[in-house]
Amino acid sequence: MHITLDAVRELDRQDPLSGFKSQFALPEGILYLDGNSLGAQPVAARGAVADTMDQWRDELIKSWNQGWFDAPERLGNLLAPLLGASEGEVIITDNITLNLYKLLGYITDQHRDGRRVVLSEGGNFPTDGYIAQGFCRLSGHEHRFLPEGTELTEQLGDVAVVVLSHVNYRTGKLRDMAEITRQVHSQGAEVIWDLAHSAGALPISLNDCGVRYAVGCTYKYLNGGPGAPAFLYTHREYQDAGWQPLTGWHGHAAPFAFDENYVPADDITRFRTGTHSALIYSALEASLTMWTEVDMTSLRTKSLRLTELFRDCLADLLAPYGIEDITPETDERGSQVALIDKENGFAIIQALIARGVIGDYREPGLLRFGFTPLYLSYEDVWQAAQHVRDVLESGEYKDPRFNVRTSVT
Ligand SMILES: *Cc1c(COP(=O)(O)O)cnc(C)c1O
C-alpha cells in the first residue's frame, strides 16, 4: 500500500474530531464499519439508562411528569439543529415505517385534488416501498416505483407524494435535496425525505432546502441504541392541516382530557401515537446531547477523507479480484463505501467479521462499509483496508465456514 501508517497517524493528530472517540464504548480489537446499521454505544448511554431505571424504581408514575412524557419533543429540539430545522419542527417517535405511514396519510388528507399516485423509488430500503403499498391498498391511492437510479424527470401531474431517500442505503448516493424539493413543489406534489443514511452522516439543511416533510432514524449514525425511536420533521407552516391516520391519544390536542372524540394537536405533537419507552429515550438523549457539540462541517470533511482513504488503500486490488467500486464521487457521496462482488461478497464480509472488521453485506453482491467520523480514526480505516487486502490475498474468504447464512445479515 502506498499510503504509510505514519501518514495516517499524522492525519489523526490533526483531526479536530479525535476527542469524540473516547466518548464511545468500543470493544477491544474491533474495527467497526457498520455504524450505518447500528451506531456504537456512547459511554454516557449506560448511566442515562441506569438513571431512568432508578427513576422508575423511586418515582414510579410521577416520572411521566418528570421528563418522560415530553421526551419526544425535548429530544426533537435537541436534534433539530443537526437537521437544519427549527425548534418545534422535529419530534422523536415510533419508527421510520410508521412515520412514513403517518405522513402519507397526513399529506393526502390535505390534498384531495385528484392526484392518486404515491411514488416511491426502486432500489430504496424496502420498508419505504412496502409501507407506501400498504397505505395505497387501504386508501385507494395507486403506488408506482420511480425506477432505480433515475432522476425525477417524469411529469408529476397525477402524483400526490414522492418518497425519496436523501442518501441511498446501498450505493451511498446523495440526492440534491434543494433542487428536487423545488421541482416537486413546482409541480404541485409533495416530497417526504427519508434521512436514514444522512442524519448524523453529513450536514442537512431542511429549512433552507424548503423541505416540508422528512423522517429518519436515530439508531444508525446518531447512536441512539437498538430500537431507538425515529424522528419526524414537519415544517412549522404545515403542522396544522389534515389528520395523520394513526390517531392515538398522545397525538390528541388534550391527551389527558380523555375525550371520546379525536381532536389533533395543532403542533408537531399531532404525530405522536401512544406510549413510548422511557428507557430507550434516555439512551438516545445521552447521544443527542453529545451530538450538540459536533461541528458538522468538520464531520463532513473527515467523512469524505475517510471514505477516500479506504478507497485509495484498496484501489489496486479491485481489478485483480473482479470487485467493482460503485461509491459515488465526493459531492454525491454519503458516508459509506460500496463495493460489488456478486460471487464472493458475502464470504469476504464474513471473513472480515471473523477478523474483527465489521462491515455488512446486502443482496445482491454488495459489500457495504459505513464511516462514522466520531469514533473512527484514519488509522482504523487504514488497518481495516489492510485486513481486506489480507483476506483477499490469502484466499481466506474461500473457507466454507464463511458461506453460512444467519437470519440477520
Ligand atoms: C434503516 C432504514 C429504515 C428503517 O426503518 P424502520 O422503520 O426504522 O425500521 C427505513 N428507511 C431507510 C431508507 C433506511 O435506511
pLDDT in tens, 184-230: 999 999 999 999 999 999 999 999 999 999 999 999 999 999 999 99
Asked whether residue 23 is domain-assigned, the answer is no
Q: What is the pLDDT of residue 170?
A: 94
- What is the Cα–Cα distance from 30 to 197, expressed in whole angstroms? 22
Q: Is 95 in the pocket of ligand 1 (CB under 6 A)?
A: yes
- What is the Cα–Cα distance from 316 to 303, expressed in whole angstroms? 22
Tell me whether residue 58 is one of the annotated catalytic residues: no
Residues 265 and 311 in one domain: no
Cβ burial, residue 67 (10 Å; 0-12/13-18/19+): middle
Residue ending a domain, choose from 275, 291, 307: 291
Residues 163 and 253 in one domain: yes
Q: What is the pLDDT of residue 1?
A: 59
Residue nearest to atom 2 of ligand 1 (CA): 196
Q: How many domains does the chain contain in total?
A: 2
Q: Decide: 66 and 55 in contact? Cβ < 8 Å.
A: yes
CATH of the domain at 124: 3.40.640.10
Residues 151 and 281 in one domain: yes
CATH of the domain at 359: 3.90.1150.10
Name which residue leads in pLDDT, 111 or 335: 335
Q: Is 360 in the pocket of ligand 1 (CB under 6 A)?
A: no
Q: How far is the CA of 92 from the centre of ligand 1 (A)?
A: 14
The predicted model gives 164-179 an average pLDDT of: 96
Q: What is the pLDDT of residue 151?
A: 79
Asked whether residue 34 is domain-assigned, the answer is no
Residue ending a domain, choose from 241, 263, 291: 291
pLDDT at 408 over 80: no
- Residue 311's domain spans which residues? 5-17+295-403
Q: How far is the CA of 63 from the centre of ligand 1 (A)?
A: 30
Cβ burial, residue 63 (10 Å; 0-12/13-18/19+): middle
CB atoms within 10 A of CB 197: 28
Q: Give the angle subtended at the CA of 334 by the CAs of 313 and 324, to the nearest 5°.
A: 45
Q: Is 247 in the pocket of ligand 1 (CB under 6 A)?
A: no
Asked whether residue 331 is domain-assigned, the answer is yes
Residues 272 and 335 in one domain: no
Tell me whether residue 194 is one of the annotated catalytic residues: yes
Residue nearest to atom 5 of ligand 1 (CA): 96
Asked whether residue 107 is domain-assigned, the answer is yes
Residues 134 and 171 in one domain: yes
Asked whether residue 357 is domain-assigned, the answer is yes
pLDDT at 338 over 90: yes
Tell me whether residue 169 is one of the annotated catalytic residues: no
Q: How far is the CA of 389 from the centre of ligand 1 (A)?
A: 31
Residues 215 and 85 in one domain: yes
Residues 243 and 328 in one domain: no
Residues 184 and 201 in one domain: yes
Tell me whether residue 401 is one of the annotated catalytic residues: no
Asked whether residue 211 is domain-assigned, the answer is yes
Q: What are phi and psi of 257, to 5 degrees?
A: -80, -20
Please tell me the pTM assigned to this model: 0.97
Q: Is 357 in the pocket of ligand 1 (CB under 6 A)?
A: no
Q: How far is the CA of 370 from the centre of ligand 1 (A)?
A: 15
pLDDT at 125 over 80: yes
Residues 235 and 330 in one domain: no
Q: Decide: 291 and 276 in contact? Cβ < 8 Å.
A: no
- Long-range CB contact pairs, 7-11, < 8 A, 24+: 8/309, 8/378, 8/379, 8/381, 8/382, 9/378, 9/379, 11/305, 11/309, 11/378
Q: What is the pLDDT of residue 100?
A: 98
The predicted model gives 271-292 an average pLDDT of: 98
Q: Decide: 37 and 370 in contact? Cβ < 8 Å.
A: yes
Residues 18-71: tens digit of each pLDDT: 999 999 999 999 999 999 999 999 999 999 999 999 999 999 999 999 999 999
Residues 374 and 274 in one domain: no
Q: Which grid coordinates belong to 260?
A: 371520546
Residue ending a domain, choose from 244, 265, 291: 291
Asked whether residue 33 is domain-assigned, the answer is no
Residues 148 and 278 in one domain: yes
Q: Counting atoms of ligand 1 from 1, which one is nearest the CA of 97?
A: 7
Tell me whether residue 259 is one of the annotated catalytic residues: no
Q: Is 219 in the pocket of ligand 1 (CB under 6 A)?
A: no
Q: Is 273 in the pocket of ligand 1 (CB under 6 A)?
A: no
Asked whether residue 265 is domain-assigned, the answer is yes
DSSP for residue 34? -
Residues 229 and 216 in one domain: yes
Question: Over the chain, what is the mean pLDDT?
Answer: 96
